[in-house]
């Protein structure tokens, strides 16, 4: 094995453009659909935030950056970008651009203009947001999610909206219960046999990255580090049914390695996972502790609940650490800031809210999240980018989320071999290669894809991430960022349920 590894290290390296190209397109496989996510920013001149309310019938939105996917609606098909929002549950299109301060971005987005197969249900609906709303007529028509064409999907065509500037695909459960009064997109994908269960994974990325994705019905085992931590979905403090989970701890690691403890308590904080909210919202007392790590922080004169910090903080190597059971997701300062280049400022990625706690995009950009609506669980791990390996999620109680890639090798044998290989390869490449984490990652990806995956049934993400982690710790690639240098939990299986 050692000889094979050394020989493979000498092989020419493939460029990453092909892999990245694949990540920018829709991929449909049996049981799953991988959909690239586009990240957009609000236009210059927009500098405000809509606060989430805690009423049962309210969801919210944070103006800043937002994540969209493209749906194709009607006959002939029209491509309509929709904001992918885990904090709400309705799909609707055609906001009123005259009733939003974000007129430019609203007018720039394609609209649904009608269809020969559109059917009016003669019913109306509405949804309220923190400082706005949408009222719409329920229609049904063909809607394509990538290559999956849904028949008679119900959605809203807005006739009156306020504040909101873009169409929204709500990917959360119905706020009043787990079974909605009509089938939502995720329900239809299952009932029409495009995916096996009401589950999806979300891999958000920083604004500058084009590689984020949502995978309906599946996971990508090479987009996270260690085990996926199972977190049961809890009932919200307002009685709402949403993606509420408990956080067990929070701390900040400064650049010099010193720690600022915020809290450490099992089930200490109930928070909503919401891709439709830019900033993370925490109790004021916790925000006060986090501010100690950012001495340049000052209150935003336009919003007392936002803090402006010097953009130089983004270059520091500190992290904000969120603990979930045995998993700690470390958010780098660079990802925890909302950069506002049009204003020449940076906003700290957290704001105080003593009644409604949200893990927004400034957290989710550093996490890999799997939302299992059927089993009422969320799974979290630290995000990484070690290639692509798509695995469908099956049916049933705690379906295949906890199996990942099934292997025939005995668990104890795999565990022992795993440790041997991990440290052996880490030692070899950590002491021989000095060309940076990127080249090392390409070598290891080649090795694992062509040898280990087929011989030992391992998955590339764990071995790559462990090796990269050792190399980074040995300071060979200090300062480089291949995306795999996160804290590693040594497990043999790609996903783990408790």
Q: Would you call 337 helix, strand, or coil by DSSP? A: strand
State yes or no: is 274 an active-site residue: yes
Q: Measure the CA angle with vertex 482, ends 479 and 485; round to 5°.
A: 75
Q: Please report where in the chains the tokens 């692509």 appear, as a residue.
A: 388
Q: Would you call 13 helix, strand, or coil by DSSP? A: coil
The alpha carbon of residue 222 and the mean position of all alpha carbons in its chain are separated, in whole angstroms, by 14
- Give the H or E element holding residue 474: none
Q: Name the nearest CA neighbour of 42 among 274, 179, 207.
A: 207
Residue ranges of alpha helices (H) inside 17-138 are 17-23, 103-108
Q: Would you call 66 helix, strand, or coil by DSSP? A: strand
Residue partners of 223: CB distance under 8 A and separation at least 6: 201, 203, 368, 383, 384, 385, 386, 388, 461
Q: Quick check: 398 and 251 in contact, CB under 8 A?
A: no
What count of residues does the chain have?
A: 498
The β-bridge partners of 153 are 141
d(CA 430, CA 72) in angstroms, rounded, equals: 47
Q: Which of 85, 220, 334, 461 is catalytic?
A: 85
DSSP string, 230-291: EEEPBPPTTS--S-EEEEEEEEEE-TTS-EEEEEEEEEEEEEEE-TT-SSEEE-HHHHHHHH
Q: Which of 141, 274, 372, 374 is catalytic?
A: 274
Count of Cβ atoms closer than 10 Å to residue 409 Cβ: 15
Half-sphere exposure of 65 (CA within 13 A, CB side): 25
d(CA 36, CA 40) in angstroms, rounded, equals: 13
Cis amide linkage into residue 38, ω under 30° from 0: no
State yes or no: is 85 an active-site residue: yes
The token duo for 22 is: 């694949």
The token duo for 8 is: 């493979």
The token duo for 173 is: 């459960």
d(CA 484, CA 363) in angstroms, rounded, equals: 17
d(CA 198, CA 187) in angstroms, rounded, equals: 6
d(CA 336, CA 333) in angstroms, rounded, equals: 5
Q: Quick check: 366 and 331 in contact, CB under 8 A?
A: yes
Q: Which residues are catalytic?
A: 85, 274
């Amino acid at each position: 094995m050692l000889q094979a590894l050394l020989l493979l290290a000498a092989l020419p390296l493939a460029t990453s453009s092909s892999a990245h190209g694949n990540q920018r397109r829709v991929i449909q496989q049996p049981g799953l659909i991988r959909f690239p996510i586009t990240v957009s920013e609000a236009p210059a001149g927009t500098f405000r935030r809509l606060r989430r309310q805690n009423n049962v019938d309210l969801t919210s939105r944070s103006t800043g950056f937002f994540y969209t996917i493209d749906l194709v609606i009607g006959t002939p098909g029209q491509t309509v970008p929709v904001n992918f929002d885990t904090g709400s549950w309705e799909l609707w299109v055609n906001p009123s651009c005259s009733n939003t301060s974000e007129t430019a971005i609203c007018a720039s987005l394609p609209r649904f203009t009608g269809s020969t197969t559109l059917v009016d249900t003669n019913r109306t609906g509405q949804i309220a947001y923190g400082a706005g709303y949408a009222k719409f007529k329920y229609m049904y028509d063909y809607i394509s999610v990538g290559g999956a064409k849904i028949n008679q999907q119900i959605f809203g065509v807005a006739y009156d909206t306020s504040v909101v500037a873009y169409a929204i695909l709500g990917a959360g459960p119905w706020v009043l219960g787990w079974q909605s009064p009509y089938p939502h997109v995720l329900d239809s994908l299952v009932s029409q046999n495009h995916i096996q269960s009401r589950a999806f994974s979300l891999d958000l990325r920083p604004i500058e990255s084009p590689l984020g994705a949502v995978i309906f019905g599946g996971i990508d085992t090479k987009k996270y580090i260690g085990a996926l931590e199972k977190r049961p979905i809890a009932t919200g403090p307002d009685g709402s049914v949403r993606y509420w989970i408990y956080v067990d701890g929070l701390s900040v690691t400064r650049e010099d390695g010193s720690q600022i403890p915020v809290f450490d308590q099992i089930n200490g904080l109930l928070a909503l996972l919401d891709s439709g909210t830019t900033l993370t919202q925490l109790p004021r007392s916790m925000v006060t502790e986090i501010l100690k790590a950012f001495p340049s922080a000052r209150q935003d004169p336009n919003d007392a609940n936002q803090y402006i910090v010097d953009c130089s903080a983004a270059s520091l190597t500190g992290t904000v650490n969120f603990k979930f059971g045995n998993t700690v997701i470390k958010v780098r300062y660079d990802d925890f800031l909302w950069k506002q280049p049009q204003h020449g400022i940076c906003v700290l990625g957290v704001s105080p809210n003593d009644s409604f706690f949200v893990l927004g995009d400034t957290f989710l950009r550093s996490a890999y999240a799997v939302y299992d609506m059927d089993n009422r669980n969320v799974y979290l791990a630290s995000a990484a980018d070690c290639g692509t390996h798509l695995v469908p999620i099956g049916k049933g109680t705690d379906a295949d989320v906890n199996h990942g890639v099934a292997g025939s090798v005995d668990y104890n044998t795999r565990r022992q071999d795993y440790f041997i290989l991990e440290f052996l390869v880490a030692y070899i490449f950590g002491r021989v290669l000095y060309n940076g984490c990127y080249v090392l990652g390409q070598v290891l990806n080649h090795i694992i894809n062509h040898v280990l995956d087929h011989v030992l049934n391992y998955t590339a993400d764990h071995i790559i991430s462990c090796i990269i982690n050792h190399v980074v710790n040995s300071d060979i690639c200090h300062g480089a960022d291949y995306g795999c240098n996160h804290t590693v939990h040594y497990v043999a299986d790609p996903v783990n349920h408790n």
